[in-house]
Amino acid sequence: MAQPRALDFVKIINGDTKTKTYSFAAFTLLVTIVLLIGAIRPTVLTITKINGEIQSKTLINQQLETKIKNLGDLNNQYLGITDDVKNLPLVFPTQGNFSLLMSNVDSIATASGFNLSSISFSSSDKLKTKTLVLKPWDARLTVIGSRANIIKLLSALEAMPMYPTITQVSFASNKDISGQTAFNINMSVYKIDDINFYK
């Protein structure tokens, strides 16, 4: 069996020019196809890999552009509220410095026709909040004035920027010499426990 094939090859080599030409062309075509496949396949794989990396990096680039845009929007919003942000330590103090609240309470009481007799603060465990940062404190006010103006005073107190909540109001049944009544008002106000919160 092997001998006739060998003879076929020998016939091709020793054969006429036409047979040699066709055989050489077929062999050249076969070698060219093998070489092209061997050369093109890694290039195609590399191109596919590079396309995948380009798509991945394009997605990352889009996400970064979105984040940069969001940061820019937040920065613009922050610039619009910088004055409010500067006042936050007064609105929600870190060390129980309720000076802004006290000055507001005094001016609100006066504007509502009351005299502020006393104000005191203490930590509160009555009111539970869902925030981890803001902690409720009790503020107790004693004001003297007309019963007719008490609703106006309470509404003005709850409208303050510190967001106090009136928890209890009590008053004396008897009036003083000038016909004024003493009111005890309990409010919940908020402070921040972390001293370094604003740093």
User: Is residue 25 assigned to a domain?
Assistant: yes
Q: Do 65 and 16 reside in the same domain of the chain?
A: yes
Q: Do 126 and 66 reside in the same domain of the chain?
A: no
Q: Do 178 and 95 reside in the same domain of the chain?
A: yes
Query: Alpha-carbon distance 92 to 164, whole Å?
Result: 11
Q: Do 171 and 95 reside in the same domain of the chain?
A: yes
User: Is residue 198 assigned to a domain?
Assistant: no
Q: Do 52 and 127 reside in the same domain of the chain?
A: no
Does position 94 have pLDDT exceeding 80, yes or no?
no
Q: Do 12 and 55 reside in the same domain of the chain?
A: yes
Cβ atoms 96, 137 nearer than 8 A: yes
Q: Do 130 and 187 reside in the same domain of the chain?
A: yes
Q: Residue 64's pLDDT band (boundaries 50, 70, 90)?
A: very high
Number of domains in the chain: 2
User: Is residue 64 assigned to a domain?
Assistant: yes
User: Is residue 166 assigned to a domain?
Assistant: yes
Q: Do 51 and 98 reside in the same domain of the chain?
A: no
Please write the tens of the pLDDT for every residue from 125-177. Answer: 666 666 677 788 888 999 999 888 899 999 999 888 778 888 889 988 887 77
Looking at residues 46-50, what average pLDDT do you find? 88
Does position 10 have pLDDT exceeding 80, yes or no?
no
Question: For position 70, what pLDDT does the model report?
Answer: 93
Q: Do 64 and 148 reside in the same domain of the chain?
A: no
Range of the domain at 29: 2-77
Residue from 119, 114, 176, 190 nearest 149 by CA: 114
User: Is residue 130 assigned to a domain?
Assistant: yes
Whole-Å CA distances, 65 to 40, 72, 78: 36, 10, 20
User: Is residue 188 assigned to a domain?
Assistant: yes
Question: For position 16, what pLDDT does the model report?
Answer: 64
Question: For position 57, what pLDDT does the model report?
Answer: 92
Q: Do 73 and 109 reside in the same domain of the chain?
A: no
User: Is residue 197 assigned to a domain?
Assistant: no
Residues 6 or more apart in contact with residue 99 via CB below 8 angstroms: 90
Q: Do 97 and 54 reside in the same domain of the chain?
A: no
The DSSP annotation for 96-151 comes to S--HHHHHHHHHHHHHTTEEEEEEEEEE-SS---S-SSEEEEEEEEEEEE-GGGHH
User: Is residue 84 assigned to a domain?
Assistant: no
Does position 67 have pLDDT exceeding 90, yes or no?
yes
Q: Do 175 and 101 reside in the same domain of the chain?
A: yes
Highest mean pLDDT among 28-37, 92-101, 109-118: 109-118
Tell me the whole-structure pTM to 2 decimals.
Answer: 0.54
Question: For position 1, what pLDDT does the model report?
Answer: 45
- Torsion, Cα of 60, 62, 67, 72 (10° steps): 140
Question: Among 50, 77, 104, which residue terminates a domain?
Answer: 77
Does position 88 have pLDDT exceeding 60, yes or no?
yes
